[in-house]
């Protein structure tokens, strides 16, 4: 069933995910994506009637600490900012990942 996936579709998915890879690896990724879709089709064929939905792999409930804001010291802030590749006015600068231009480029 992997033959259903085309190299053009793989290129499109890669572009949407902002991934780049050499053209000579396109066939490998086409096969891999086809195999992944095949696995989902196999899972889709499994009879799950009467199976309770699972929301967690364990029976533990909320094992994380409480999410509470804590004021950090000036030294902690400086140490954090010193580890960042680029900062601006006490903030860490990161590259834009969303292109909001209307040309789709």
User: Do the Cβ atoms of 29 and 20 come closer than 8 Å?
Assistant: no
- Biggest CA–CA distance in the chain, Å, is 58
pLDDT in tens, 25-84: 999 999 999 999 999 999 999 999 999 888 888 888 777 888 899 999 999 999 999 999
Q: ∠ CA 39-60-46 to the nearest 5 degrees? A: 20
Indicate the pLDDT class of residue 4, thresholds 50, 70 and 90.
Answer: confident
Check: pTM over 0.85? Answer yes or no. no
If DSSP codes are grouped into helix, strand and coil, which group holds residue 35? helix
pLDDT of the residue at 79: 94
pLDDT of the residue at 55: 85
Kindly tell me if the per-residue pLDDT of 102 is higher than 70. Answer: no
């Amino acid at each position: 069933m992997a033959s259903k996936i085309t190299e053009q579709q793989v290129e499109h998915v890669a572009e949407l995910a902002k991934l780049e890879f050499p053209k000579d690896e396109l066939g490998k990724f086409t096969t891999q994506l086809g195999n992944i879709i095949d696995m989902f089709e196999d899972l889709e064929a499994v009879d799950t009637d009467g199976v309770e939905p699972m929301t967690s792999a364990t029976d533990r409930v909320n094992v994380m600490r409480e999410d509470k804001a804590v004021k950090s010291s000036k030294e902690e802030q400086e140490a954090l900012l010193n580890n960042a590749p680029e900062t601006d006015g006490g903030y860490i600068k990161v590259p834009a990942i969303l292109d909001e231009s209307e040309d789709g480029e």
